[in-house]
Amino acid sequence: MSFFAVDIRYPDEFYIPSFNETKEYLKLAREVKSFVIKKLNLRDFDIKENKNEA
């Protein structure tokens, strides 16, 4: 398992990612979202986004 999978789920203390880590994780999340949307053959109007989310 990766560091993220183990240490983030079961931390001994609270972990705050750096700004660069946060940017990288956000980029990866957007790539995963895009991949899933393409695989599910969804269109823009099929997806309702919560505007309160980052």
**Amino acid 28: pLDDT:** 94
**Amino acid 15: pLDDT:** 73
| Distance in angstroms (rounded) separating the CA atoms of residues 33 and 54 | 14
Quote the pTM value.
Answer: 0.58
Identity of the residue numbered 26: L
**50 band by pLDDT with thresholds 50, 70 and 90:** low
| Distance in angstroms (rounded) separating the CA atoms of residues 32 and 4 | 17
| Distance in angstroms (rounded) separating the CA atoms of residues 37 and 47 | 9
Q: Looking at the predicted structure, is the pLDDT value of residue 51 above 60?
A: no
**Amino acid 6: pLDDT:** 61
| Distance in angstroms (rounded) separating the CA atoms of residues 20 and 54 | 16
Q: Looking at the predicted structure, is the pLDDT value of residue 46 above 90?
A: no
